[in-house]
Structure 1
Amino acid sequence: MDLIADLKRKYPGAWAWAFGDSPEMADELADLVVKGIKTASCCSLASFNTDDAAPGPGSYHIILNGQGAPVCVIRMVSLRLVRFSEVTETFARKEGEGDLSLAYWRAEHQAFFTREGVFAEDMELVAEEFRVVEVV
């Protein structure tokens, strides 16, 4: 039985993807989502614009672990543009990573976006907030 296909039937139009840029990061961040600690994420506007059908509020997403297996389904509740330099402590806390501080968020996300090749203090991010609708 293909669990991803079953979930896509249950949530038509759902995207299946993993957080981060490594299997280890995907596992760690998916675990934070399942535990309810991570309720937000962000991506560069550049990477968001490369998707043919960018997700909007109300869209469903099947979150995969580092091995490509589904762990939960989330529903996007808001998306907004924000500059890297204007991310708040509140948003950093909703991302649920590390010690939940803005300093940790900035350091880790600067490293991530540098690996992606797009980092700049004034870069635009798509800030996404979501809620878990099903744990698999």
Structure 2
Amino acid sequence: MPAQSAEQLWKAYNETTDTNGASYQTRWFGDQGQPEQVQALTDAILAGHKTATTTPLDSYTAEQVAIPQVGDYNVLLNGDMKPVAVLKTVVSELIPFYRISAEHAYHEGDGDRSISNWRELKTEEFTPTLEEHGHQLGPDTPMVSEVFEVVYRAD
């Protein structure tokens, strides 16, 4: 039976492993106002098709959110904002936009998974947000490149 809350899922995970007193944050991928998008990304993560993500550094600083660190835990929420898994950050790097690797683009699982398609999709995605904050997307725009793994599932 799936956990009813993020706290219950985290507790269930802690009963299976020693997290050495680590804490967690809740997290979802996509726009919370678009539950279908969030669910599609959650499904891709649970299926193992999406194991990475990239976010402009500016998004973290503008929203005053901590940059993911190796060893961070997140309780993954689905399109209904229900907990479905625990993720662990295994790589977190600050990389210029045009230095994101083809391998990383592939592991993000977007589009046809090529670096050229990734750049097109991410330019569309990142440009409006950066412009809202008075920045432009360019080859050297700092990106937080993250790789994560599913370490526990609710089902």
Q: Which TM class, normalised by the smaller chain length?
A: 0.7 to 0.9
- TM-score w.r.t. the length of structure 1 is 0.87
Larger Rg: 2
Which amino acid is 1:86 matched to?
Answer: R
The 2-side partners of 1:107 and 1:62 are apart by: 29
AA partner of residue 34 (structure 1): L
Paired residues in the alignment total: 136
Runs (4 or more) in structure 1 with deviation over 4 Å come to: none
Partner of 1:18: 28
State the distance in 2 between where 1:3 and 1:117 align. Answer: 33
1:59 Cα offset (Å): 1.0
> What secondary structure, in the 3-state scheme, does the structure 1 residue paired with 2:26 have?
strand
Map residues 4-83 of structure 1 onto 2, 5 A cutoff: 4-9=6-11, 10=13, 12-21=22-31, 22-49=34-61, 50-83=63-96
Distance 1:27 1:84 in 2: 26
**CA–CA distance in structure 2, aligned partners of residues 97 and 73 of structure 1:** 21
Cα RMSD for the two superposed structures:
1.9
Distance in 2 (CA, whole Å) between partners of 1:64 and 1:31 is 11
Structure 2: gaps spanning 5 or more residues: 15-21
* Separation in structure 1 between the aligned mates of residue 36 and residue 128 of structure 2, nearest angstrom: 16
For 1:2, the aligned partner's letter is: Q
Quote how far apart the aligned CAs of 1:68 are.
0.7
What is the CA–CA distance in structure 2 between the aligned matches of 1:15 and 1:76, rounded to whole Å? 12
Local SS of the residue matching 1:25? helix
